[in-house]
Structure 1
């Protein structure tokens, strides 16, 4: 004896079943992501220290935060790190993408080589570059062993140069990913437009500067959003590479937030810094999503 589900019931199941399957995940996301975001925002207005407190103190924690010298150092470092990280990754990624787009032999080997660093965690990247940049273990020591005794490269120990070692390690890891984004953009450009420009006598320089690169504007925007997001929340790379040092020379907002929340027992100040970081990310992502939705419509 067979049992047949009516067509109306089948259509109802098709609509309800996906929602039933996804509802537990959505419920957990609402609690453990957005719920804790709201809770962090609430803590930033309390006098919480080692443990959460529910006594409201208004904007006192934000006033205290902007009066912290370490917070201002973290913002200055973020400006240096973010600008150099985004600019170098975009320039290097574009150059690599143009190089691979020339239909060179061995592209299938070079592409995964460029992308390989992105497969590593920032902890592994930071540890490897820490060994490489350590004057007693890495590049400087190797040069001395080869007889170049005058060679020095101690940026990781120099308070004024340490932040640039974080830039080097971050660029090494992310530039291959940006290259893949630009390569996809280059492969999506209409070849007929390029052929027409070549027939009109356009040089390769004019071809790239006036036709190809302007058409990569959406890729530039996407790369900027991704890299800016990574820069603002950078934590594990800094901890593995410099641990915020020497001194506070490589302090970033994420390391500031962790130290004030979990080691200095100033939970409310740490929550305030987390809210500021969230506002920074939202200021980048929300306009991007709005522009994408508007173009889609």
Structure 2
């Protein structure tokens, strides 16, 4: 059985960087947390062909093969900040999967838990970028990236929430469009969509709803949880050790239980802390732009 974490990234025109530079920047995460061994894991991935990077891939994803208990990351190469963070994200899937001994736990892990693990590593890459004065040139790109990562999926989920809240099992096309218009009006009361008629043809659900459990606000939640956990690791490296020991021995992996057992917080409390950290992140980026 193979479990796949599929990710769609957005196009932009951030500053260029080579793949080797991206790998170096991702590896620098080791400097943030004692005993974090990402450099060693990337070398292991390369040696065993578990890291595949190509411009030919349409998207990026990490696949887990239960038979051999190994994960392989396929990454669409983009020589820019987006590619760097995608690299950090997918390697995050692979890195934390490598500590989980129980193959069944990996297969049964919820998408929220798996994505939180990946966002831990991705947000550590962002921490590293923020801590290095030489990376100030990426501040605007990071701001735009975070907008697309958080705001766009959140607005889509608000629309989907309206649809899911209805009791009817079947909807007419006009009913779905009306739900969309309600969301647009609420979010952007002073904005007008010039091509509204044609934009109605582009109101499909998130891809994840076709392949995974229908979980609203999954990616914004996973990002905030990942940011909370990565920041906790930086502030107290002992939490990282406890976290690794926990997932190494766990028979079942659930992010709510991990937060309770390792960090002594509920999921809601972790998200609240993640929101505060996210605001500080944005303030720091705004200062550098």
- TM-score w.r.t. the length of structure 2 is 0.25
Going by fraction, where is helix more abundant, 1 or 2? 1
- TM-score w.r.t. the length of structure 1 is 0.24
Structure of higher RCO (CA pairs closer than 8 Å, 6+ residues apart): 1
Going by fraction, where is strand more abundant, 1 or 2? 2
